[in-house]
Structure 1
Amino acid sequence: MSTVILLLGLCLLAVTLCYLGRCLISPWGTCRRCAPRGKNRTCRACNGTGMRPRLGWQLFVHFRRLHRDGTR
């Protein structure tokens, strides 16, 4: 049983590290709201650009700002 838990933990760690690497390499992803139709000038999610920051990148920027503001 402990082997299964260890393997699941390692898989979760690998997936997390891959996602973090993806966010650092390419922080912008396509907008899910207007991706099927192409760029939409009225899309509020991406302001008509067709690109949105990934959730991991948004969290990274948020925590970086918290750290910066807390250490001033």
Structure 2
Amino acid sequence: MTLLITLLVLCLPIVTLCYIGWCLISPWGTCRRCRPGGKNRTCRACSGTGMRSRIGWRLVTYVLRLHHDGTR
């Protein structure tokens, strides 16, 4: 049990930093609501573009905007 907790404590920050880096490198992903391989003009999630911003990118943008608004 102690080994499992130790592995989680060591691996969780690494996985989190890798995901944040991935979101900074590639902030847009394909829309899962649209049909695979194409664009759906009536999709409300992506407005018909076929691309959506990742959850991590939305979080980074929110934190940056919050910091910018708080330091004005």
What does the per-residue CA deviation read over 1:6-47, in whole Å, with 9 as the maximum and x for residues that have no partner?
211112112111111110110000001004262000101001
Distance 1:66 1:36 in 2: 35
Task: With the length of structure 1 as denominator, give the TM-score of the two structures.
Answer: 0.89
Q: Percent identity?
A: 71
Paired residue for 1:36? 36
Can you give the 5+ residue segments of structure 2 that lack an aligned partner in the other structure? none
Q: 1:29 aligns to what SS in structure 2?
A: strand
Q: Deviating runs (4+, > 4 A) in structure 1?
A: none
Which consecutive unaligned segments of at least 5 residues does structure 1 have? Answer: none
Equivalent position of 2:21 in the other structure:
21
TM-score after normalising by structure 2: 0.89
The corresponding residue for 2:8 is: 8
How many residues matched? 72
User: What CA RMSD, in Å, does the superposition of the two structures yield over aligned residues?
Assistant: 1.3
